[in-house]
Structure 1
Amino acid sequence: MAFKTAWTLPTPTSSPHEWICLDSSPGSRSASRASSHVSDFGSGLRAGPPPELQSPSIRGLLLQYACIGLVTSTLPLLPSTVFQDDFNQPHLASVYAALCTLPWLATPFLGLLADCLPLAHRRRRVCMVLGWALCAASCLAMAITPLRAQNATSLHVFCLLTTVCASLGCAIAAAASDALLVAFAQTERIWERGRLQTRALVLRATGTFVPQVLVGAMALKSASVIYALLTVASVGAASAAILVVTEPVFEPALSTRHYLHLLWATLQQRVVWQLCAFQVLFGVCFYVPSFLESAPWLALEARPVVWFNLGNTVVAIAALLAMGVSGLGLDWRKLIVASTALFIVGSVAVHFGALYSALPDEYTYLVVHMLLQAPNVVLLLPANYCLVEVASAGAEGALAGLVSTCFVIARPVAALAYRALRAAWPADMSKDDGSTLEATRLILVVFLIQATSLFWLWLLPRQKAHVVQLKLHGGSSAAGGGLLVLCVLLMLALAVTTSVLPTLPTTSCLWIAGGSGCK
């Protein structure tokens, strides 16, 4: 039975940027050409052997992601331990949470730093070591500081500053790791490209187990012990970056002027701003129903939620492993349609079941919510796979940070959309007869908005070959690149504003900050 493939493979005799499109069937001349290209060149996007997952260098790189997952999931869990228990200052928890997230909004600039900071002919490893050193020093300072001191005001400032430094250091290391990961992934063969990225996401998700068990399930209250653990993890990641991680030089070093010219030329490409537009528009529509998790008709207790969070991580890891084994060649659009439909149907069913008391207990909702983590995490993969096909050699860090930030900043925009929508409904909706119908309407509307996220699928190419074809033949536009930069900067400003305003007593009542309005 004849079938057709559309592989875009570089020829062995041409530069890595020259591509051909093969439309072949078994036994044809095109198929034999494809076979010869695969055997001679390996169909990587750039020259070099494909990465070996068991090599010390790749293991050291994957260790970075395990430590990133550990730090990023631990720091947001500490406000209740540090501020509410030690200082009896609950309002500082919101300040702490905002400071944990703000450095991650700067990942495009940190990625640019990782691209342009050469030291001893290395760039990414230098940033990885510097980032982990900053994180380790900050966590060590918190670990050895007596938190129950009497001079609370100065100690509050100290804790908040060290939190910013720890989060910033981890973000710097993550930006450099992403750049190096993309560089390695571009040497993978076309049929296995994405395997290394998926493995990195698995390790990052695995790193979240430790804080979920210690801080969440076991309710560990010793902040010094937790910060000491983060210090050890940061030192271990920095040691791995120094001793085992290698940074192959695939391209000649670029001056700052040539790098900025390359980056601007990349941002002007249609494939880049189209991918970023998909990340933002799809993310905004998809994230709107996530704010229903605090709906009054769910009435979830904190303790079961903590334990089921462990199950959520297990399901997410299983889904990532399945994608890495057998899902790399799937049609991305069909995958997102199926995952989104499954997520919407399951979510609507349990929300209606909880609203109309059709669920036997809260555990039914938690089990379904846990299983829905599989389609939820799968939605993150296509854009990451697409990034490898798009990134230009030498500017991987900035582009990786830009694509990931476009999805991150979609959440604050979705929060504003949900607040505007929620304002049209009664402030207090419970299971009584008077507001059940209103709650039903709200559920239907927010999940209808989530379904409209599928409208933006035309912005996402179907597979790797389609990405390369769009990169080659999609053209470029200075207006498109400028509009991309402007929109990202505006949404970053919005994200920073919505993160800072709730932390200030005079602005926390504002509607944009999540309040009901100042009087």
Structure 2
Amino acid sequence: MDRDFQYGASRLERLSVAESITSTAFDSRSQDDPGTPRVSYVLPASPITKTAPDGVEFSDGEAQTIPELPQNGALRAGDVPNLYSRRYIGLLVQYAAIGLIYGALPRTVYPFLNNYLHMNGYQTLSARVLLSMPWSIKVFIGMLSDCFPICGSRRRAYMVLGWLACSAMLLVLVVRSQGPPFYVDRSLRGQDLSSLSKDELVGRIFWAAPEEGATYIVFMMLASCGYMLADVASDGLVVEFAQREPEAERGNIQSTIYLVRSVFMIFAALLVGFGLNGVDYGGSFSWSLNMSQLLLICAILSLGAIPTALWLLHEPAVAPEDTRSVRAYIAQLWILFQNCAMLQIMAYRFFSGIFEGFTVTAGDPIQRYWAHVHPLNESLFSVLGLCVFSAALYGTKRYGLQWNWRNVIAGTLVIVLCIDAVVASLTIWNVVRSQWFWLGTPILEELPAAVNFLVSTFVVVEMAEQGNEAAVYGLLTTISNLASPFASCLSKNVNARFDVSVDDIISDSTHVRWQVTWTFLIAYVMKLFSLTWLVLLPRQKRETQELKQRAGHSRLGGCLALGIGAFALIWSITTNLMSIFPATACLAVAGGSGC
């Protein structure tokens, strides 16, 4: 449920030079506003040695003091913050900025990479995966944020660093010269070029255009790493705040911040939809922004999140004596990682995500050459989809905090698949080929996406412990996010056995239609099979807590989970990178037809 921000390194150097100024900015407690005293999870005490269930021992002269919890079912002591107050409004601004960038960059794939540069379907699929790949390393960023405070700040300092890095990468692409489109002669768009001789195509086709896409993809992926740093730091604060909520209300804070993010993704979709709707981008406008101008807007917008992180977001400073050693932190995280309840949740999120994320690589070419979708209309329908997503978030926040998670996920998925099958079959076999018909289905798919997404965040809050909020949030979301690129890799390898390339879609023969039909049928079967993993998902918050308390520990399970996760991450990054470079894109493992 995923984009590019970068900031200049010189700004970071100034932060280190002006340490006293930065320390003051990061300590949001003033003399007349001391703030709520921090209930520390790790307090200085006499040295003790604690033996973990798996035999791990750690002794750091620190004692773990578990504060007395309220009687209302809250998981952490403290007042529930008002996110609309001056002390916390900066957190909502962080998610608004994330929504703007995350909503804009992935939406450039269709008009720019697919239409302007004429990249293949499996390459644009890889581009989407790579742009969301930083979401798969959230656990490592979370560990960094938890363990290494900067000037007494575990969260806001990393927000600033993240936005700086993101903006810097975007600006690299801004100053880079944008090449001509693949179709220099626009009248050739959508035609079968094999029927024309090479002499007829001289000066009318820019054959090197698809190769330009690799540079854009790599730098936008690096920019995504930057804003991901800010996102993980924000997630850490969200977990801390959400655990203060009573059981009956817990989930309200998460629903609010993700509602804000999805609303601002709507504005991003409108920006891309109207900005990249020129003829060269597959649209109908006589004018359009170029890619450099769009990325410049994204870089400027991302900079606006920095002041709010510094002065409109309260985070109690972390004293040196409150900071655990990395060894103690890793030991506690490893104990949690071996918890059978944690392993069960991770297994559900990974394996169900693989099957549910299985897709077809011909989606973009079908959208362009069979459904004749204009970029503007795609963006407008994306806006409608985000509205549905936002409405689903609000509905869950208002009415669904006590819903049975299994029933909701299963019901929404089955209904959406039935509708999607009708739309896909009518489009493939040329019964109804309308962009309005084709674009309508993704709107409905936002319903299960929103519910599944919120359920995943609810589970994180129940499983996280004090002191490792960002890492646990990152761990569970990393496992879930790893499933998506892994599923995409499997999809490309399966679809590579079928004739569903761009040229095949343009030919539109009966043979190609059958080939596309089989890829859709395989995808539907895989998605339905994802429901078999629902037995691993608890039904509600209380059941999650009970599962966590009575679960044992398994060193073998922890090792297997680490091994599978590491393999999935390395394999996904490698194969998706291979897909975007000309020398390796033809390999079968990268989704090509073979070199």
TM-score category by the smaller chain?
0.7 to 0.9
Q: SS in structure 1 opposite 2:582?
A: coil
Letter in 1 for 2:339: Q
Superposed CA offset, 1:312-335 (max 9, x none): 111111111111111111010111
Match of 1:241 among 296, 303, 309: 309
Q: Deviations over 1:237-274 (max 9, x none)?
A: 11111101122479943221211111111111112121
Are 2:249 and 1:176 aligned? no
Partner of 1:117: 148
In structure 2, relative to structure 1, the CA distance for the partners of 1:158 and 1:218 (3 Å cut) is closer
Q: Distance in 2 between matches of 1:161 and 1:231?
A: 16
Q: SS where residue 173 of structure 1 aligns? A: helix
Question: 1:419-451 deviations in whole A, cap 9, x for unaligned?
Answer: 454456555588766666665555434312211
Cross-structure match for 1:262: 332
Of residues 354-363 and 311-320 in structure 1, the stretch that sits farther from structure 2 once superposed is 354-363
Q: What corresponds to 1:44 in structure 2?
A: 74
Unaligned runs of at least 5 residues, structure 2 = 1-39, 42-67, 180-211, 277-287
Q: 2-side partners of 1:287 and 1:204: how far apart?
A: 22
Contact 1:47–1:250, Cα closer than 8 Å, also in 2: no
Q: Distance in 2 between matches of 1:227 and 1:415?
A: 26
Q: Who is 2:299 aligned against?
A: 231
Amino acid at match of 1:412: P
SS in 1 for 2:357: helix
Match of residue 32 from structure 1: none
- Cα distance in 2 for residues equivalent to 1:478 and 1:196: 34
CA distance in 2, matches of 1:400, 1:224: 34
* More displaced stretch, 428-437 vs 397-406: 428-437
Match of 2:405 in 1: 332
CA offsets, 1:329-370, max 9 Å, x none? Answer: 101011111111111111112223334444473422322332
Match of 1:127 among 154, 158, 161: 158
Change (3 A) 1:475 1:443: same
Mapped to 2, the partners of 1:141 and 1:292 lie a distance apart of 31
CA distance in 1, matches of 2:568, 2:479: 9
Say if 1:96 and 1:163, in contact at 8 Å, map to a contact too: no
Q: Which residue of 2 aligns with 1:210?
A: 267
1:282-361 map, 5 Å: 282-289=352-359, 291=361, 293-294=363-364, 296=366, 299-303=370-374, 304-359=377-432, 361=434
- Please tell me the root mean square deviation across aligned C-alpha atoms, in Å: 3.6
How many angstroms apart in 2 are the aligned matches of 1:441 and 1:142? 39
- Structure 1 residue 271 corresponds to structure 2 residue 341: yes
1:63: how far off?
1.3
Is the Cα–Cα contact under 8 Å of residues 131 and 169 in structure 1 kept in the other structure? yes
The total of aligned residue pairs comes to 477
Q: Aligned runs of 1:97-496 on 2, under 5 Å?
A: 100-140=131-171, 143=174, 145=175, 147=177, 163=220, 165-219=222-276, 220-248=288-316, 252-289=322-359, 291=361, 293-294=363-364, 296=366, 299-303=370-374, 304-359=377-432, 361-422=434-495, 425=498, 440-496=517-573
| Matched-pair contact (CA < 8 Å) for 1:127–1:176 | yes
Deviations for 1:21-64, whole angstroms, at most 9, x for unmatched residues?
Answer: xxxxxxxxxxxxxxxx99x6432101011222322343211211
Cα distance in structure 2, aligned partners of 1:431 and 1:345: 25
Contact 1:183–1:396 (Cα < 8 Å) also in 2: yes
Q: CA deviation at 1:228?
A: 3.6
Aligned to 1:19: none
Is the alpha carbon distance of 1:42 and 1:250 closer, same or farther for their aligned partners in structure 2, counting shifts above 3 Å? farther
- Map 1:52-63 to 2 at 5 A: 52-63=82-93
CA shift digits 1:107-153 (9 cap, x unpaired):
2111111111113332111111111122234445655x36369xxxx
Mapped partners of 1:183, 1:431: distance in 2: 54
Q: Deviations over 1:370-401 (max 9, x none)?
A: 23322232222212110000011111112212
In structure 2, the residue matched to 1:9 is: none
**What amino acid is aligned across from residue 216 of structure 1 in structure 2?**
G
Residue equivalent to 1:6 = none
C-alpha contact (below 8 Å) 1:333/1:457 kept by paired residues: yes
Conserved in 2, the CA contact under 8 Å of 1:182 and 1:388?
yes
Q: 1: CA distance between counterparts of 2:220 and 2:132?
A: 10
CA positional deviation for 1:162 = 5.7
Taking the aligned partners of 1:58 and 1:414, their CA distance within structure 2 comes to 37
Q: Is the CA contact 2:360–2:491 (under 8 Å) kept in the aligned structure 1?
A: no
Q: CA deviation at 1:501?
A: 0.5
SS of corresponding position for 2:88? helix
Q: SS of the residue aligned with 2:527?
A: helix
- Asked whether the equivalents of residues 51 and 185 of structure 1 are also in contact (C-alpha less than 8 Å), the reply is no
Question: Structure 2 CA distance, aligned partners of 1:470 and 1:458?
Answer: 13
Q: Which residue of 1 aligns with 2:95?
A: 65
Deviation of 1:408 (Å): 1.8
Q: Is the 8 A contact 1:81 1:222 kept in 2?
A: no
**Alignment check: 8 A CA contact 2:133 2:485 kept:** no
Bigger shift: residues 408-417 or 161-170: 161-170
Amino acid at match of 1:237: A
- For 2:214 and 2:520, locate their aligned partners in 1 and report how far apart those are by CA, in whole Å: 42
Q: 1:381 to 1:226 in 2, by over 3 A?
A: same
Contact 1:332-1:382 at 8 Å conserved across structures: yes
Query: Could you tell me how far apart the structure 1 residues matched to 2:217 and 2:518 are?
Result: 42
Q: Is the 8 A contact 1:96 1:160 kept in 2?
A: yes
User: Which has the higher relative contact order, 1 or 2, with Cα contacts under 8 A spaced 6 or more apart?
Assistant: 2
Tell me, yes or no, if the aligned pair for 1:68 and 1:204 is still in contact at 8 Å: yes
Deviation (angstroms), 1:203: 1.8
- Going from structure 1 to structure 2, the CA distance change for 1:45 and 1:338 (only over 3 Å counts) comes to same
Greater mean deviation of Cα atoms: 194-203 or 95-104: 95-104
SS in 2 for 1:330: coil
The answer to whether the Cα contact below 8 Å between 1:142 and 1:224 also exists between their aligned partners in 2 is: yes
Shift of 1:461: 0.5
2:162–2:226: 8 Å Cα contact kept in structure 1?
Answer: yes
**Equivalent residue of 2:105, what SS?**
helix
SS in 2 for 1:43: coil
> 1:222–1:357: structure 2 CA closer, same or farther, 3 Å change rule?
closer
Deviation of residue 403 (structure 1)? 1.4
What is the CA-CA distance between 1:310 and the residue it aligns to? 1.8
Output the CA distance in 2 between the equivalents of 1:477 and 1:146.
51
Q: How many angstroms does 1:212 deviate by?
A: 1.8
Partner residue in 1 for 2:280: none
